[in-house]
Structure 1
Amino acid sequence: MSGPLDGVRVVELGAIGPAPFAGMMLADLGAEVINVGRLDDDGMTAVTHRVLLRGRRFVHLDLRHPAGAEVVRDLVGDADVFTEGFRPGVAERLGVGPDDLLEINPRLVYGRMTGWGQDGPRAADAGHDLGYLALSGALAPSVGDGGRPVAPLNMLGDFGGGGMLLAVGVLGALFSAQRTGEGQVVDASILDGTALLTAMHQSMLASGMWQQPPGGNLFDGGAPFYRVYRTADDKWLSVGAIEPKFYAALLDGLGVDADPAEQFDQTHWPELRVTFATRIAAHTRDEWVDVFAGRDACVVPVLDPDEAAADPHVIAREVYVDRGGIRHPAPAPRFSETRTELPEESPDDETAEVLGEFGYTHSDIRRLEDAGVIAAATGQDHHPHGE
C-alpha cells in the first residue's frame, strides 16, 4: 500500500516555513515532490528545515537565468501541482507565474503561499508570523501575565493558518482538476488562514460569551478550569475541565469545596483561580498526574519535547519517529486503506538525475553547467540517456 496521493507529482520552488510545510504534508501523503532550490543556497534552510523538507527530491537552479526558468517550465509540463512562496509578482518576473505555467499545463494546480495575500494594501510588504497574527485579531486575545499578548510559537500562523491552508487548498483544486481537466491558482495567505482559525472565537464574540478584557475569558486563562498552573517542582499542569461532569471530577481531585453549579459564574473565577493555584502548587506535577489518573477531569501534564516523546500514549501511537537522531512528527492523519509512512531521506542534490528523467541529455546538462544555471559538479557522476 502507498499513500493516498501516490502518482501525484508536485514541483515546489524553495521557500521557508509554511510552503515547505505544505510540501511535507503532500509528500507524507505519498506525492512525489521535487524541490527546486536556489543554486546559491547558504545551507541554513537545510539545517532549520530538515524535518520540513523530508520526502523530497532536490534540484538546484539559478532561477534568475532564463534557462533556469525554462527548466522549471519543463518540470511542470507533466506535474499535477506547483507551489511557490514568493511575494506577489516575483514568480511572474522570473517567468514562472500562473500564466506561464498554466499555458504549458492547463490542468496544473498552482499554489501560492504569502503572508498578506496576492492583493490588498499590504500585499507587497515584508512580514512574519507574529504580524499576521496581530493583524488578523488572533494575537490580542492570546495573553500571558499582565495582559501581554503571547504568540503560540509560529504554529498558529505559519503552519496552521499558512502551510496547512495551502495543502488543503491544493487538495481541493487537485480534486477539481481531476474531474474537469482544468487547473487553477490557489491564493493561500497566512492572514486569511489565521482569520479562518478564529471561527469559534468569532461565534463567542457574537454571542456575548467573550466580553471580558483579555485574560478574563474562557480560553484565555480567565476560567479557573481552563488554565495552566505551576506545580511544587516548578513544572506545569494543564487543566481543561470545561464540561460540568469534568469540572466536578476536577473539584473532587483537587479537594476543593466549590459549588459545581456556579462553574460559569465569572464573579467566582478570580477567587477560584487563587484556590486552584494554591492547591496545585502544594504537590509536584507527577503527583497530580497520579491523583487524576483514571479520572475524567481533563488534567494533563505539560511536557517538554523530550518528555512528550517518551510519554506512553505518544509512544503507543508512534506520534514521533526517530530518523538519524532527528525527531520527526509522524505523518498525519492516518488512513485505513493507504499508508502514510515517513518518506525516505533523499540526497541533497539530484539535479542531473532528475533532469535526465525528464529527457535532458548529457550535453543539455553540460550546457546548463557552462551557463551557470546548475552547479558544475552536478552532472559529472550522472549519465542521462543519450546525447
Structure 2
Amino acid sequence: MSGPLASLKVLDFSTLLPGPFASLMLADMGAEVLRIESPTRMDLLRVLPPHDQGTSASHAYLNRNKRSLALDLKQAEALEIVRELVKDYDVVLEQFRPGVMERLGLGYEALKAINPRLIYVSITGYGQTGPYKDRAGHDINYLALAGVASYTGRRDSGPLPLGVQLADVGGGSLHAVVGLLAAVIARQHSGVGQYLDVSMTDCSFSLNAMAGAGYLACGAEPGWENHVLNGGSFYDYYRSRDGRWMSVGSLEPAFMQQLCAALGRPELAAQGLSPKPEQQHALKLALQVEFEKRSFEELCALFAGVDACVEPVLSLSEAVEHPQLKARELVCQVPRGDGSAQAQIACPLKFSAGLPEPRHIGAAVGAHTDDVLAELGIEAQRIAELRRARVVG
C-alpha cells in the first residue's frame, strides 16, 4: 500500500511540534517528506525526555517515516541545493519567524519563480501580519490571547494548563494540513500553487466554535464554570471514593435518566433537564455525593453496561489497554532500523484501501544526506567536499 498522498513530496523546514505533527500526518498517509535540518543547531525536540535507547521518544514519533537532509542554510551552496530540490517538490513547510526564509532567499516569491506549482505553508504563532507577528510565544500564550483560556478552568483556581498542546496541534498542525491539501486540490484545476499563512492564534480563536459564536451573535461572554460544557452544569468530572475520576456527559434526557437510575437516584433526572443554575448546582452536589460513595472499580463496573455517556478517566497506561483503543489499533510498532521496533501512536485515520506500514522512527540528523544529494545527481566526491566544507552534515 502506498497511501492516498503517495504522489505528494514535502520539504519540511519545521522543528519542535506544530510543523512536525503536520508533516507526520502527511508522511503517514504516504507523502514523501524530507526534513531540512541544521547540522549545527539541533531541533530541541531531539533532546526532549524521556529517551528510548538514546533517542527522544517524542522525536522518534513525530518524525517517523521522514528522511533527514542536514544543510547549513547560511552557506550559498546549501541554498542552491534547496533550490534544486524545490524543482521537484510540491510543498514547502516552514515554521520560522516571519521574514527569516525571505532573508535566506528561500521565501515564497523566490521559490515560486523556480516552481510555480509550489504550495508554500508558513506556521507561526501570530501570522505574517499584525503587531504581534514578530513576537515570541508558546501554546499557552496563543490560547490566552485567543480567549480560550478565559472560560477553560475553575472559578477558584483560574485557567487550566492543558496536558495537550491545543494551539500547536489543533490550531497549527491540523489547520495546516487541511489548508495545504485544499491548495493541492486547487492546483489540480489551476496548475499553480499558492502561499498559506497559518497562525496558531488565529486557528485557536476559530476553535471557540460554540462560546465564540454565542458571544459574537448575542453578546454572551463565557466565563469559568458558567455554561453547560465548561463546568457550569452537571457535565463534569466526579471523584470516586478512592480518589479516581469519572467523566459524566449525560446531556440528553435518556442518558440522564439512565445515569440517575444506575446511581439509585432516579428522582434526580428532572433536575438535569432544568436550565436554572441553582438546579444544576444542586444536581452536581448530589452527583458528587453518589460518586464518592463508590470506588473507581465499582463505578467502572456499574456503568460498563449502561449507555449513559459516563466513562472513567484513564491513565495512558490504562488507555492503551482499553478494548476500544486496542480494537482500533491505535498503537503500532515502528522499526528502529536495528531489527527492533518502538511502540508508537498509530495514524488514527482509517482508509478503506489502507495505509502503508510505518517505515522507521525519526531519523538521525542528516541520515539521508548522501542519498538525497545522489538523487540530485551530485557525485560522491563532490558530496565529500561539501561535507568537509560543512555545507552538509
Q: Which residue of 2 aligns with 1:228?
A: 237
Counterparts of 2:63 and 2:139 in 1: how far apart (Å)? Answer: 20
Counterparts of 1:260 and 1:155 in 2: how far apart (Å)? Answer: 38
Match of 2:262 among 253, 264, 267: 253
Q: Which residue of 2 aligns with 1:201?
A: 211
Measure how far apart 1:104 and its partner are: 0.7
Measure how far apart 1:167 and its partner are: 0.9
Counterparts of 1:108 and 1:249 in 2: how far apart (Å)? Answer: 55
Counterparts of 1:219 and 1:111 in 2: how far apart (Å)? Answer: 34
Measure how far apart 1:75 and its partner are: 1.3
Query: 1:220–1:336: structure 2 CA closer, same or farther, 3 Å change rule?
Result: same
Q: Which residue of 2 aligns with 1:380?
A: none
TM-score, reference length from structure 1: 0.91
Counterparts of 2:244 and 2:357 in 1: how far apart (Å)? Answer: 34
Query: 1:316–1:81: structure 2 CA closer, same or farther, 3 Å change rule?
Result: same
The alignment partner of 1:352 has SS state of helix
Q: How does 1:80-99 map to 2 (within 5 A)?
A: 80-99=90-109
Measure how far apart 1:211 and its partner are: 5.5
Root-mean-square deviation (Å): 2.0
The alignment partner of 1:237 has SS state of strand
Match of 1:77 among 84, 87, 91: 87
The alignment partner of 2:197 has SS state of strand
Counterparts of 1:318 and 1:86 in 2: how far apart (Å)? Answer: 35
Q: Which residue of 2 aligns with 1:356?
A: 374
The alignment partner of 1:332 has SS state of coil
Q: Please tell me the residue identity of whatever aligns with 1:69.
A: L
Gaps of 5+ in 1: 376-387
Counterparts of 2:7 and 2:222 in 1: how far apart (Å)? Answer: 52
Counterparts of 2:355 and 2:386 in 1: how far apart (Å)? Answer: 38
Q: How does 1:49-198 map to 2 (within 5 A)?
A: 49-144=59-154, 146-198=156-208
Identify the range of structure 1 (273-282 vs 83-92) with the bigger mean alpha-carbon deviation: 273-282
Do residues 365 (structure 1) and 376 (structure 2) align? no
Counterparts of 2:11 and 2:215 in 1: how far apart (Å)? Answer: 41
Q: After superposition, what is the alpha-carbon deviation per residue over 1:53-85, rounded to whole angstroms, capped at 9, x for unaligned?
A: 111011111111121111111111100111000
Counterparts of 1:174 and 1:364 in 2: how far apart (Å)? Answer: 35
Query: 1:342–1:287: structure 2 CA closer, same or farther, 3 Å change rule?
Result: farther
C-alpha contact 1:319 1:329 (8 A) present in aligned 2: yes
Do residues 337 (structure 1) and 357 (structure 2) align? no
Counterparts of 2:19 and 2:112 in 1: how far apart (Å)? Answer: 20
Q: Please tell me the residue identity of whatever aligns with 2:181.
A: L
TM-score, reference length from structure 2: 0.90
Counterparts of 1:273 and 1:17 in 2: how far apart (Å)? Answer: 38
Counterparts of 2:113 and 2:388 in 1: how far apart (Å)? Answer: 29
C-alpha contact 1:331 1:341 (8 A) present in aligned 2: no
Counterparts of 1:32 and 1:199 in 2: how far apart (Å)? Answer: 34
Counterparts of 1:128 and 1:11 in 2: how far apart (Å)? Answer: 24
Identify the range of structure 1 (91-100 vs 330-339) with the bigger mean alpha-carbon deviation: 330-339
Q: Which residue of 1 aligns with 2:294?
A: 283
Counterparts of 1:111 and 1:74 in 2: how far apart (Å)? Answer: 19
Q: Please tell me the residue identity of whatever aligns with 2:31.
A: A
Q: Which residue of 2 aligns with 1:22?
A: 22
Counterparts of 1:200 and 1:330 in 2: how far apart (Å)? Answer: 30
The alignment partner of 1:306 has SS state of helix
The alignment partner of 1:372 has SS state of coil
Q: Which residue of 1 aligns with 2:37?
A: 37
Aligned length: 374
Q: Please tell me the residue identity of whatever aligns with 2:80.
A: E
Counterparts of 1:357 and 1:345 in 2: how far apart (Å)? Answer: 22
Q: Please tell me the residue identity of whatever aligns with 2:3.
A: G
